[in-house]
C-alpha cells in the first residue's frame, strides 16, 4: 500500500514481481537510494518516494540481468542523472521525469550497458532526429568522458519507460 507520497517495500516488490528477500538483501548491503536510511529503526517499514523507487527498480532489474550490485547501483545513478539531463536540462521531453511522479511520455528511453564496461542512454526524444538516437558511451567506472569507437560484444538494454509505467500504477502517484 502506498502511504502518502511513499510506497512500502511489499507494494514495490509486487509491482515488479521482486522477492522481498532479494530487495531487502540489496538494502542491507548498503545499496540504498538517496534519502533512505540504511537501517531503519525497529518497527519502521521500508518506504520509498518515487525517485527512490525508480532508482531501486533499475538496480534490481539490472541484477536480474546478471550485473553485480555495485555495477547495477552505478548504472542506476547514471540512468536517473542522465534522464534528468535529457528530459529537463535539454528539454527534450519536459513532461517525463519518473523521479518526480511524471510517468507519461510518447518517447522511448533505454539504458544500455556494453560489456559491463560502458554505459549510455538511448532515446527517440532527440529533436530533429527520427528513430532511436544513442548517446555517447561512457565508462561505468571512473571519469564520465565519452569513449569514442566503443563497440561492445554484449549489450544489456533496460527499458526505462516500462519501469515508469509500473510505478504509475501506484494510486497515490498516478
First to last CA, the chain: 14
Over residues 142-151, mean pLDDT: 90
pTM above 0.85, yes or no: yes
Alpha-carbon gap, residue 155 to 114, rounded angstroms: 4
pLDDT digits 0-9 by tens, 79-112: 999 999 999 999 999 999 999 999 999 999 999 9
Q: What are the residues whose beta carbons fall under 8 Å from the beta carbon of 168, sequence distance 6 or more?
A: 103, 104, 174
Alpha-carbon gap, residue 4 to 140, rounded angstroms: 35
pLDDT digits 0-9 by tens, 58-80: 999 999 999 999 999 999 999 99
pLDDT digits 0-9 by tens, 22-46: 999 999 999 988 877 666 555 457 8
Amino acid at each position: 500500500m502506498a502511504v502518502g507520497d511513499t510506497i512500502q517495500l511489499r507494494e514495490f516488490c509486487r509491482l515488479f514481481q521482486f522477492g522481498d528477500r532479494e530487495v531487502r538483501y540489496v538494502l542491507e548491503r548498503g545499496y540504498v537510494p538517496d534519502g533512505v536510511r540504511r537501517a531503519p529503526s525497529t518497527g519502521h517499514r521500508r518506504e520509498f518516494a518515487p525517485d527512490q523507487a525508480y532508482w531501486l527498480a533499475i538496480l534490481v532489474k539490472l541484477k536480474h540481468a546478471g550485473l553485480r550490485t555495485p555495477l547495477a547501483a552505478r548504472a542506476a545513478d547514471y540512468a536517473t542523472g542522465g534522464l534528468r539531463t535529457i528530459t529537463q536540462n535539454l528539454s527534450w521531453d519536459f513532461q517525463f521525469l519518473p523521479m518526480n511522479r511524471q510517468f507519461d511520455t510518447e518517447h522511448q528511453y533505454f539504458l544500455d550497458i556494453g560489456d559491463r564496461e560502458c554505459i549510455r542512454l538511448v532515446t527517440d526524444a532527440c529533436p530533429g532526429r527520427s528513430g532511436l538516437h544513442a548517446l555517447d558511451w561512457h565508462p561505468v567506472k571512473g571519469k564520465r568522458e565519452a569513449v569514442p569507437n566503443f563497440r561492445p560484444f554484449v549489450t544489456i538494454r533496460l527499458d526505462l519507460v516500462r519501469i515508469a509505467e509500473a510505478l504509475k500504477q501506484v494510486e497515490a502517484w498516478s
